[in-house]
């Protein structure tokens, strides 16, 4: 389903192709080492604070577009050392929503042997994919062409790591064509922000709905960061904020289900899985299974501190998948989320709007029908809300 947006990139390839892509991508992920990426995240979060400050005190905060903007900005800076503009952020957010809307029915015509391109939905999905690629491809193309012409690329970002890793050992040919590189970049952009944006949106709502937990988070943020600019060393001390994000990923894992192909015949309980069978794994269901978790539908970040939860985590917690295809950006995503949430709860009080409960919608990620909104009230530097 994602092919028109991300081409034949690591997210959807298998076997030897996947293996060699993962080897080529790993050097690019050294750029996402949490300490090195912290300053980029911090700058994107500063810009987020400036945008939030434009919302009138006590006004309504449209959560999903902002979370998409800040996470797209973080990953864009990590990929190519540029910040993403408001126009580009809105374009990618809206185009991907539209893409998912039109692509979901996409497989139906092929099930009844009608070519996909005869369906209007297919064309509208393709158009949305092109809108996303138009934001990314011109930048990748110019850096690729300059590099192939022999100009060194020392930008210390993911794109330069990929360009340098893709020069063959003999130093002449490139291991990636421009199209292959552009596909990997589109994949990194999408995997690197859509998932985080979904989880941060749900986290914001859950925090707004739990005033007692929110006050504890606020106290933690004040104790660790005070009114200062966040520092890398603050991050590991924001333990409640981290647990809130982990608990959000338990209740609303950004990728609600994914697929695996069985490599051999296997018996699972009373069922036989044949080699080659397609299995659908759903963290969303496993994380809410009553035989595996205590009060699975309750938002309880403190559960991660209780010893009995350790077994549930070991057996049935996989928001980042597990095994050889485990998410390459998990540590990056956790740090980004802790930073974003800690800054928001330090600076603002969040409240739910009466009768405005978000309704989950499972697509490639868990988004919503109709958005998520909360009320934002500024706190002063001592943490008191200004309207209090």
For residue 262, the minimal CB distance to ligand HEM (Å) is: 15
From 4, 256, 301, 319, residue interacting with ligand HEM (rule: CB under 6 A)? 319
Which residue has the CB atom at the shortest distance from ligand HEM? 329
Given a contact cutoff of 8 angstroms between Cβ atoms, the answer to whether 327 and 320 are in contact is yes
Of 324 and 354, which CB lies nearer to ligand HEM in the complex structure? 324
From 63, 162, 199, 203, residue interacting with ligand HEM (rule: CB under 6 A)? 199
For residue 383, the minimal CB distance to ligand HEM (Å) is: 28
From 155, 239, 282, 321, residue interacting with ligand HEM (rule: CB under 6 A)? 321
For 171, the 3-state DSSP assignment is coil
Of 159 and 379, which CB lies nearer to ligand HEM in the complex structure? 159
Sequence-ordered list of residues with C-beta below 8 angstroms from that of 224, at least 6 positions apart, any chain: 234, 237, 238, 342
Of 214 and 365, which CB lies nearer to ligand HEM in the complex structure? 365
Given a contact cutoff of 8 angstroms between Cβ atoms, the answer to whether 340 and 48 are in contact is yes
Cα dihedral value 133, 139, 143, 148, nearest 10: 40
Of 189 and 348, which CB lies nearer to ligand HEM in the complex structure? 189
For residue 169, the minimal CB distance to ligand HEM (Å) is: 24
From 93, 299, 317, 320, residue interacting with ligand HEM (rule: CB under 6 A)? 320
What DSSP string runs through 186-198?
HHHHHHHHHHHHH
DSSP letter at 270 equals T
Does residue 327 touch ligand HEM according to CB under 6 A?
yes
For residue 265, the minimal CB distance to ligand HEM (Å) is: 22
For residue 199, the minimal CB distance to ligand HEM (Å) is: 4
Residues 30-49 that bind ligand HEM (CB under 6 A): 32
Given a contact cutoff of 8 angstroms between Cβ atoms, the answer to whether 34 and 332 are in contact is yes
For 351, the 3-state DSSP assignment is strand
Pick the stretch among 205-213, 230-238, 325-333, 341-349 that binds ligand HEM (CB under 6 A). Answer: 325-333
The phi-psi region of residue 295 (left if phi > 0; otherwise alpha if psi is between -120 and 50; otherwise beta) is left
Does residue 328 touch ligand HEM according to CB under 6 A?
yes
Phi, psi of 325 (to 5 degrees): -105, 25
Residues 238-267 that bind ligand HEM (CB under 6 A): 249, 254-255, 258
What DSSP string runs through 33-90?
-HHHHHHHHHHHHHHHHHHHTTSPTTEEEEHHHHHHHHHHHHHHHHHHS-PPPHHHHH
Of 136 and 191, which CB lies nearer to ligand HEM in the complex structure? 191
- State the burial class of residue 127 (Cβ atoms within 10 Å of its Cβ: 0-12, 13-18, 19+): middle
Size of the site for ligand HEM (CB under 6 A): 23
Does residue 358 touch ligand HEM according to CB under 6 A?
no
- State the burial class of residue 361 (Cβ atoms within 10 Å of its Cβ: 0-12, 13-18, 19+): middle
Q: Terminus-to-terminus CA distance in the chain, angstroms?
A: 49
Given a contact cutoff of 8 angstroms between Cβ atoms, the answer to whether 251 and 206 are in contact is yes
Pick the stretch among 38-46, 97-105, 293-301, 318-326 that binds ligand HEM (CB under 6 A). Answer: 318-326
Pick the stretch among 194-202, 228-236, 296-304, 343-351 that binds ligand HEM (CB under 6 A). Answer: 194-202
Does residue 10 touch ligand HEM according to CB under 6 A?
yes
Site residues for ligand HEM per CB under 6 A: 10-11, 22, 32, 188, 191-192, 195-196, 199, 249, 254-255, 258, 319-321, 325, 327-329, 332-333
């Amino acid at each position: 389903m994602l092919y028109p947006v991300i081409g034949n990139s690591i997210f959807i390839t298998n076997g030897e192709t996947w293996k060699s892509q993962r080897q080529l991508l790993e050097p690019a992920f050294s750029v996402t080492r949490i300490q090195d990426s912290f300053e980029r995240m911090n700058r994107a979060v500063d810009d987020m604070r400036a945008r939030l400050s434009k919302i009138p005190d006590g006004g309504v905060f449209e959560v999903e577009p902002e979370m998409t903007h800040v996470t797209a900005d973080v990953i864009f800076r990590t990929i190519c050392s540029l910040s993403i503009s408001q126009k580009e952020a809105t374009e990618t957010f809206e185009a991907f929503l539209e893409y998912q809307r039109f692509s979901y029915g996409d497989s139906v015509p092929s099930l009844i042997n009608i070519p996909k391109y005869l369906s209007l939905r297919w064309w509208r999905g393709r158009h949305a994919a092109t809108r996303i690629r138009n934001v990314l491809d011109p930048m990748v193309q110019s850096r690729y062409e300059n590099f192939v012409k022999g100009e060194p690329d020392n930008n210390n970002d993911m794109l330069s790591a990929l360009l340098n890793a893709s020069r063959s050992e003999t130093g002449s040919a490139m291991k990636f064509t421009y199209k292959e590189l552009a596909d990997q970049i589109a994949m990194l952009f999408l995997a690197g922000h859509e998932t985080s944006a979904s989880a941060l949106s749900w986290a914001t709502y859950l925090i707004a709905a739990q005033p007692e937990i929110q006050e504890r988070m606020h106290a933690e943020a004040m104790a660790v960061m005070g009114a200062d600019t966040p520092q890398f060393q603050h991050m590991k001390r924001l333990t409640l904020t981290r647990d809130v994000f982990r608990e959000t990923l338990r209740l609303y894992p950004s990728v609600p289900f994914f697929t695996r192909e069985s490599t051999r015949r296997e018996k699972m309980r009373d069922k036989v899985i044949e080699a080659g069978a397609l299995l659908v794994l759903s963290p969303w269901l496993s994380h809410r299974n009553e035989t595996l978790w205590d009060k699975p539908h309750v938002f309880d970040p403190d559960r991660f501190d209780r010893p009995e939860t350790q077994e549930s985590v070991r057996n049935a917690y996989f928001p980042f998948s597990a095994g050889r295809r485990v998410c390459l950006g998990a540590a990056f995503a956790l740090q980004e989320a802790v930073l974003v949430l800690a800054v928001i709860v330090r600076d603002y009080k969040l409240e739910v709007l009466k009768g405005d409960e978000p309704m989950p919608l499972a697509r490639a990620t868990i988004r919503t029908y109709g958005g998520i909104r909360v009320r934002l009230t500024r706190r002063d530097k001592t943490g008191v809300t200004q309207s209090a």
